[in-house]
Chains A and B, each alone.
Chain A
Amino acid sequence: EVQLLESGGGLVQPGGSLRLSCTASGFTFGSYPMNWVRQAPGKGLEWVSGISSRASNTYYADSVKGRFTISRDNSKNTLYLQMNSLTAEDTAVYYCAKYRERWEPSEFDYWGQGTLVTVSS
């Protein structure tokens, strides 16, 4: 059974940093590109960032480019999102999502349960 478990969310002050993790199981993690998608309170879904299976390619939404860094450790079956220079607009539930196919972009098939990031003083 595919499982994606996010962690690392919490309360952070504006201008601060946070690193999210997504631990995967139930599939060959190193064979699949992965993504982060976020959802601000009461709002819709927003794609944040994606990374190829071997981390050779990374992709970012304009809203986070230069502030967020996506990475992965295939030996640990873990996806990361390093978030710097956080603002109130980054407050959201952050989901990791797996691509169904081994190329990118492709369709999502599995999502984690999400981790809440709150940026506030």
Chain B
Amino acid sequence: DIQMTQSPSSLSASVGDRVTITCRASQGISNYLAWFQQKPGKAPKSLIYAASSLQSGVPSKFSGSRSGTDFTLTISSLQPEDFATYYCQQYNSYPLTFGGGTKVEIK
């Protein structure tokens, strides 16, 4: 199985900050990497697919990138509605696997 290691597990940031979350795959997954946002008590929301493509309706302050087996989600200017938990997920092969999540909290 492909392991997805996400870091950090949590971070504190202020409104307006630039935030970066990293996800490392245990083996090559090409660009088959997605990012999700989840708020408490709500279903996950799809943000990014194919490492860097935005899902329809997702604001451009979210961006994704890839370097080998390392993937990054960046929020360019954190807003109050962005405080949530973020997950990466590989869909290169079954079983699909998720990172452990990064909780973004208000500083």
Contact, CB under 8 Å: B43 / A112? yes
Contact, CB under 8 Å: B98 / A44? yes
Interface segment among A9-17, A66-74, A80-88, A101-109: the answer is: A101-109
Contact, CB under 8 Å: B87 / A62? no
Interface footprint category on A:
20 to 34
Q: In the complex, A35 Cα to B87 Cα: how many Å?
A: 17
Contact, CB under 8 Å: B43 / A44? no
Chain B residues within 8 Å of A27, by CB: none
Interface segment among B10-18, B20-28, B44-52, B69-77: the answer is: B44-52
Contact, CB under 8 Å: A95 / B44? yes
CB contact under 8 A between A113 and B43, given known A44-B87, A44-B101, A47-B98: yes
Chain A residues within 8 Å of B45, by CB: 111
Q: Of residues B91, B92, B99, which shows the largest number of chain A Cβ atoms within 10 Å of its Cβ?
A: B91
Contact, CB under 8 Å: A114 / B49? no
Contact, CB under 8 Å: B94 / A108? no
Cβ 8 A contact of B91, one of A45, A105, A110: A105
What does DSSP make chain A's interface, helix, strand, loop or mixed? strand
Cβ 8 A contact of A107, one of B38, B50, B100: B50
A31 to chain B, nearest CB (A): 18
- A30 contacts the other chain (Cβ, under 8 Å)? no
CB contact under 8 A between A106 and B91, given known A35-B96, A95-B44: yes
Chain B contacts to A: CB under 8 angstroms: 32, 34, 36, 38, 42-46, 49-50, 55, 87, 89, 91-101
Q: Given A47-B95, A106-B91, A107-B50, list of 4 further CB < 8 A pairs?
A: A35-B96, A45-B44, A47-B98, A59-B94
Chain A contacts to B: CB under 8 angstroms: 35, 37, 44-47, 50, 59-62, 95, 100, 105-114
